[in-house]
Homo-oligomer: A and B are copies of this chain.
Amino acid sequence: MNTRAIFPQIDLTIVSDDGDDMKFCTTCAFSQVFLSEGVDKSALRDFHLLVEHEGPFQPGDYVFREGRPFNAIAAVRAGTVKTFLVDRHGREQVHGFHLPGEIIGLNAIDGDRYPCNAVALDTVMLCRFSFPKMALLASRLPKLQQHLFRLMSRDIGNASMYAGDYSADERVAAFLLGLSRRLAARGFSPLRFRLTMSRTDIANYLRQAPETVSRVLRRFERDNLLSIKRREVEILDMSRLEAMAASILRN
Contacts and interface: CB of A to CB of B under 8 A. Distances in A.
Interface of A: 85, 87-88, 93, 95, 106-111, 115, 135-136, 138-140, 142, 145-146, 148-157, 159-160, 162-165, 207-208, 246-247, 250
Given A93-B164, A138-B145, A150 B110 contact: yes
**Residue among A110, A139, A247 with the most chain B CB within 10 A?**
A110
Given A110-B151, A110-B153, A165-B208, 14 more contacts: A88-B247, A106-B152, A106-B153, A108-B153, A110-B157, A115-B157, A136-B142, A138-B139, A139-B139, A139-B145, A149-B152, A152-B152, A156-B156, A160-B163
Interface class of chain A by DSSP: helix
A163 B154 contact: no
Nearest to A149: B109
Contacts of A165: 207-208
A222 B207 CA distance: 30
Contacts of A250: 85
Contacts of A109: 149-150, 152-153
A233 to B, nearest CB: 24
A85 B108 CA distance: 27
A110 B154 contact: yes
Contact of A149 (B95, B135, B140): B135
A136 B138 CA distance: 11
A153 B107 contact: yes
Contacts of A95: 160, 163
Contact of A156 (B106, B146, B163): B106
A164 B107 contact: no
A93 B142 contact: no
Contacts of A111: 153-154, 157
**Residue among A153, A156, A157 with the most chain B CB within 10 A?**
A156
Contact of A207 (B106, B115, B163, B247): B163
A159 B152 contact: no
A38 to B, nearest CB: 14
14 contacts: A85-B250, A93-B164, A106-B153, A109-B153, A138-B139, A138-B145, A139-B140, A139-B142, A148-B149, A155-B156, A156-B156, A157-B159, A159-B160, A165-B208
